[in-house]
Amino acid sequence: MSDVLRAPALGTWVKLSSPTTVEIMAYAGFDFVVVDLEHTLLDLGTTQTMISLARASGMLPLVRVPDHTASTIQRVLDAGAAGVLVPHVDTAEQAGAVARACRFPPHGTRGAGSTGPAGRWGRLSRAEYVRHGNDEVLCIPQLESGRAVREAGRIAAVPGVDAVFLGAADLAMDVGTSDVADLLAAVRAAARDAGAPVGSAAASASAARAALDAGDTFVVCSNDTSMLAAAAVDTVAAVRRASAASS
């Protein structure tokens, strides 16, 4: 299993279509990136380039797929992703189907494609390619509904599920905002009882620190678009203030 699930690790979402973003995040010191195919128009060709660049830059490349579709999961893993975050996994049965899509037989249903990036363009032996897919590829369901909260322990215990990811924003939309903190705490406890690491998203550095202090093993902090927008706003505001002060 990847070290990203064993020790406090910091990542960020990649939403912009330029692979340069990935290189910038590597230089910034992030441990991993999550290329977001759920809430962007990124295509698989660009995603593969980002995956390769992340690996070459020393970062772990994860991909959030748009849905549970096994063919999409397979293509992302064939592109060399270290693992997938899968949105809106609400039951242990759904988690089992997602996990099987990530694994080769007899543990799952993933088809072999060892001549692509995941097989180092055919340089890995079939045995090593299959071993890597079954032992090292990360399957991370996102729990983001009231039903998922109730099923959290069962989902976390599904064979082939390596961790769970807390989807606080969608959970708040599903159940309302008043109980979200308590529900997230319940999911954390259930996952840990099942022996599964927990990850979460944070909008700010302070929120990321709080999540790590709460025991989350990995946190996805902010995203490339928000960081660019914030820096742009701050730069313009600073120049305007300086200009006003000197006039």
Which residues are the active-site residues?
A: 39
For residues 55 and 80, the answer to whether their CB atoms sit within 8 Å is: yes
Give the dihedral sign, CA 124/125/129/131. negative
Q: What does the DSSP assignment read for 163-189?
A: -EEE-HHHHHHHH-STTHHHHHHHHHH
Half-sphere exposure of 204 (CA within 13 A, CB side): 4
Tell me the residue ranges of DSSP E strands in the chain: 9-14, 32-36, 60-64, 83-86, 138-143, 164-166, 198-202, 218-223
